[in-house]
Amino acid sequence: MLLCLQANVVHNDIKPDNCLRASTGEFKLADLGLGVRMKDADRGSDSQYSMTTFAGYGVNVQMTGRPPEVLQGDSLTTAVDVWSLGNLIYTTLTGSNSPYSEQQSKGGDTIAGLYENQRIIKGNFSLNALETAKLPRHVVSAARHVVHDMLQPDPTARPTATQVRDHPLFWSTERCVEAVR
C-alpha cells in the first residue's frame, strides 16, 4: 500500500478479498480497478476524484463499508486507504467482519449492515473484539492504538501510511527490545 501511495495512487478498495500472499510469504495488494492516480487532490486542487467519478463511467460501486468521506461524497485522498487498512488490520487480528458491525444477540438475528454506514460516518466503532482475540497483551494494546487512529471519521485526523508502517504494532522483536533499552 505504501508503494501505491508514494506513487500518488489511491487503491480505493482495500479489503480481504483483494489481499494475496505469495508463496514467499510476501503480501500483495490486488485489484486496482477502483484505483485512482491522484493529481493534486491531496493538496486541495479542483482536479479531485470522488466515487461519482466512477458513476460517470457507468461503474456501479458497492458503497457499504466504505470510508466516511466516500459515503458522504467527498473527494478521495490517500486517507481513504489508511481507513480501509485499519479495517483490514482489525479483521485480520480478530476474525470479525467489521468494527462497525452490530454484535448479534444470542438467539436473534440482526440484519447485517443495516445501519453500518451511519455508524461509519459518525465514527461509532468498537474494538472490543481485540480484547477477546487470542493475541499477546502488547499486540492488543498497540493494535487498539493504531486501529483507533486509522478509523477516525475525519481523514485529516488519521495517521499517514508511513506513520502506520512505523507504529510499534509492526515492529520486529529486535526493534522492540532496542526501544526498551
52: enclosing H helix or E strand: helix 51-55
Q: pLDDT at residue 47 above 60?
A: no
Question: How large is the average pLDDT for residues 159-171?
Answer: 91
Residue with the bigger pLDDT between 161 and 45: it is: 161
Average pLDDT, the chain: 78
pLDDT tens digits for 77-131?
889 999 999 999 999 999 988 899 876 434 334 455 557 888 999 999 999 999 9
Give domain limits for the chain: 2-103+112-180
Q: Please pick, among 13, 17, 149, 154, the residue that the annotation labels catalytic.
A: 13
CA angle 31, 36, 170 (to 5 degrees): 65
Query: Contact, 87 vs 120, CB < 8 A?
Result: no
Question: How large is the average pLDDT for residues 133-157?
Answer: 94
Nearest-10 Cα torsion for 58, 32, 47, 44:
130
Q: Side chain identity at 127, as an amino acid letter? A: L
Query: Contact, 29 vs 97, CB < 8 A?
Result: no
What b/e readout covers 3-32, taking b as 16+ CB neighbours within 10 angstroms?
ebbeeebbbbbbeeebeeeeeeeeeebeee
pLDDT recorded at residue 63 = 59
- Among 3.30.1330.30, 1.10.510.10, 3.50.50.60, 3.40.50.2000, what is the CATH number of 2-103+112-180? 1.10.510.10
Q: Would you call 109 a catalytic residue per the annotation? A: no
Give me 107's grid cell. Answer: 438467539
pLDDT recorded at residue 5 = 60
pTM higher than 0.85, yes or no? no
